[in-house]
Amino acid sequence: MLSLYEKIRLIILFLLAALSFIGLFFMINYQLVSERAVKRADSRFELIQKNVGYFFKDIERSALTLKDSLYLLKNTEEIQRAVILKMEMMPFLDSVGLVLDDNKYYLFSRRANDKIVVYHQEQVNGPLVDESGRVIFADFNPSKRPWSVASDDSNNSWNPAYNCFDRPGKKCISFTLRINGKDHDLLAVDKIHVDLNWRYLNEYLDQISANDEVLFLKQGHEIIAKNQLAREKLIIYNSEGNYNIIDSVDTEYIAKTSAVPNNALFEIYFYYPGGNLLNASDKLFYLPFAFIIIVLLVVYFMTTRVFRRQFSEMTELVNTLAFLPDSTDQIEALKIREGDAKEIISIKNSIAEMKDAEIERSNKLLSLISYDQESGFIKNMAIIESNNNQYLAVGIIKLCGLEAVEAVFGVDERNKIVRKLCQRIAEKYAQCCDIVTFNADLYLLLCRENVQTFTRKIAMVNDFDSSFGYRNLRIHKSAICEPLQGENAWSYAEKLKLAISSIRDHMFSEFIFCDDAKLNEIEENIWIARNIRHAMEIGELFLVYQPIVDINTRAILSAEALCRWVSAERGIISPLKFITIAEDIGFINELGYQIIKTAMG
């Protein structure tokens, strides 16, 4: 058997050998860096392709969302309000254009301060004017705009970049949605086109690319969007159909290019830094390896010196422990002294913990003799946990109303009822169950065998009532039918107590079958009852207004105030739950007054 000092020395020698091997292995694989960089570039480019494709899909979905918001709207003012509301929720759109079914054109344009300006035509192919009537564009013909002509026969299409008439010097890229079929009867719009927000697209490219990656999008012969690094670099088109990235450090890039997924009109250009470490293969590159070896040698000699001292301290501790059983003051012998090493402190703490554990085991052994003298039921759960038997099911019996009997008829009558209850429980369940007494009105049943008989008996509601003769006495029961070990019995008892707590105030005896779904429901109901008042005070309860619309005139006649609860802790709480619970706990009037006050305020 090697000593501690010898083991530590061998470990350090092994670490030195391992470090030398790692260094040699790294040098052998030194030239594989470029290949790994290519694989990483492929992986990154695949992810970027998906993200860019998702972006263009989001633009298409936004156009569909905009179309959905215009269903059944015929009044131009309602259409304007609906479009402006949607644009405020879609910062990635610069402008939205509508060709109505009367061939008049409306343009909603976002300005620098995020204000949305509306331009419209008062006559077909007439001048485009703003809200004050000022002419912005004379003789505007929507059918001749680039976004109006489909590149294919599809109803939905992206359009090549074109000059924005409302933003001189800028390019617009539009997605056009043409209204056909049944939708044409439900919408007052023939065409919808949405234009990208360039700044938002550039920021999106920044988000999906790393700081050292160059990423930009191209349409035709023009670069339409760049990430931050691409905006800082000089990008020059070469004769090979690719681009050269020029900067002050002459970084080598791995170039990747492809069309946007499901959108061949746009191309993705991605440049990943090659990371060719061969450029640094000079003597400076090997200095860290020499430095690490020197440091490890120094650590080796320092460790040898330190552990020799620790070995002497451990020898002293062993000698102390040898005389510990005969020591008159064991606490003083295990006292941590200043200057003790961490290992010495850990050993002393472990010995102290073992002594505490021994005391605890002794206490548990004493608690095993814990049976009720009269009923024979177990009084201490430690017996169940120590035996750790296998049980098939577990149930609980709760006698409610015992306090009222004691208050009216006295303690003797109360004790008489408890004895009778224990007798009946023993008659029904002692043969198949271990019975634990929590208190005079609460008993835990752990089924060992005949689980079907056990569940049939415990599910009977009125089997005890006829024995007592008091109307206000109720016996509530609950059960969990699943195998368990005795060491886990306490957690099952807590679940059953929670289930019983949900029906303890009910006026008649009840049985409740307990499972995870039921427990979650009970716990949630208790949480709602405890927190609904506080939620109203801090403003988590609020009103939403549902418009009431005249179907014939499509006019909004009034609005219905609906109470909603969004909890910071549990999210959205269903009104079916919290309103029912508010009625049960007598909070419904106060809640109603608050709703009326808020709606009328």
Distance between CA 293 and CA 314 in Å, rounded?
30
More confident residue, 251 or 230: 230
Mean pLDDT of 381-393: 86
Indicate if 579 and 504 belong to the same structural domain. Answer: no
Q: Report which of residues 290 and 58 the model is more confident about.
A: 58
Structure tokens belonging to residue 557 = 């006649």
Cross-sheet strand order for the sheet of 253-260:
222-226, 214-219, 263-273, 253-260
**Do 335 and 388 lie in a common domain?**
no
216-232 burial string, b = 16+ CB within 10 Å, else e? bbbbeeebbbbbbbbee
Q: How many domains does the chain have?
A: 4
Domain that holds residue 457: 381-514
pLDDT score recorded for residue 395: 92
| Residue 429, in any domain of the structure | yes
pLDDT at position 429 over 50: yes
Give the per-residue pLDDT at 180: 81
Q: How confident is the model at residue 289 (pLDDT cuts 50, 70, 90)?
A: low
The answer to whether 390 and 461 have CB atoms below 8 angstroms apart is no
At 394 the pLDDT is 92
Specify if 578 maps to a domain.
Answer: yes
pLDDT at 343: 60
Does some domain include residue 187? no
Do 425 and 507 lie in one domain? The reply is yes
Start-to-end C-alpha separation, the chain: 86
Last residue of a domain, one of 494, 514, 534: 514
Is residue 531 a part of any domain in this protein?
yes
Residues 491 and 450 in one domain: yes
CA of residue 493 relative to chain centroid, distance: 31
Question: How sure is the predictor about 282, in pLDDT bands with cuts at 50, 70 and 90?
Answer: very low
In this structure, are 486 and 571 located in the same domain? no
Among 514, 540, 563, where does a domain finish? 514
What are the structure tokens assigned to 383, written together? 């017996």
The stretch 575-580 carries a mean pLDDT of: 86
What is the mean predicted confidence (pLDDT) over 50-61? 88
Please indicate, yes or no, whether residues 399 and 483 belong to a single structural domain of this protein. Answer: yes
* Distance, CA of 334 to CA of 353 (rounded, Å): 11
Position 485 confidence tier, pLDDT thresholds 50, 70, 90? very high
Pair (487, 472) in one structural domain: yes
- Residue 128, exposed/middle/buried by CB under 10 A (0-12, 13-18, 19+)? buried
Nearest to 489 by CA among 339, 378, 571, 364: 378
The CA distance from 89 to 36, in Å, is 42
Amino acid letter, residue 514: C
Nearest of 486, 462, 594 to residue 540 by alpha carbon? 594
Rounded to an integer, what distance in angstroms lies between the CA atom of residue 417 and that of residue 341? 64
Residue 232 lies in a domain: no
Both structure tokens of 407:
């208050």
Q: Is residue 124 part of a domain?
A: no
Q: At 396, is the secondary structure helix, strand, or coil?
A: strand
Mark whether 510 and 595 lie in a shared domain: no
**Residue 547: strand pairing partners:** 559
* 472 shares a domain with 391: yes
Q: How far does CA 522 lie from the centroid of its chain?
A: 23
- What is the reported pLDDT for 334? 66
Q: What average pLDDT does the segment 359-369 reach?
A: 63
pLDDT in tens, 540-558: 888 888 898 888 888 888 8
**CATH number, domain containing residue 396:** 3.30.70.270
Residue 233 resides in a domain: no
420: its two tokens: 């009778």
User: Where a domain ends, among 300, 331, 364?
Assistant: 364
Is 131 domain-assigned? Answer: no
* 410 and 459 co-located in one domain: yes
Give the pairing type, strands 174-178 and 189-196. antiparallel
Provide the CB-side half-sphere exposure for 256 (13 A, CA).
Answer: 23
Higher pLDDT, 356 or 480: 480
pTM score, whole prediction:
0.42
Do 506 and 572 belong together in one domain? no
pLDDT at 366: 54
From the number of C-beta atoms within 10 Å of its C-beta (0-12, 13-18, 19+), residue 362 rates as: exposed
Handedness of CA 227, 229, 232, 238 (dihedral sign): negative
Task: Please determine, for residue 410, whether its predicted confidence score (pLDDT) is greater than 70.
Answer: yes
8 Å CB contact between 157 and 146: no
Tell me what pLDDT residue 325 has. Answer: 57
Sign of the Cα pseudo-torsion (483, 486, 487, 488, in order): positive
One domain for residues 543 and 449: no
CA-to-CA distance for 287 and 557, rounded, in angstroms?
82
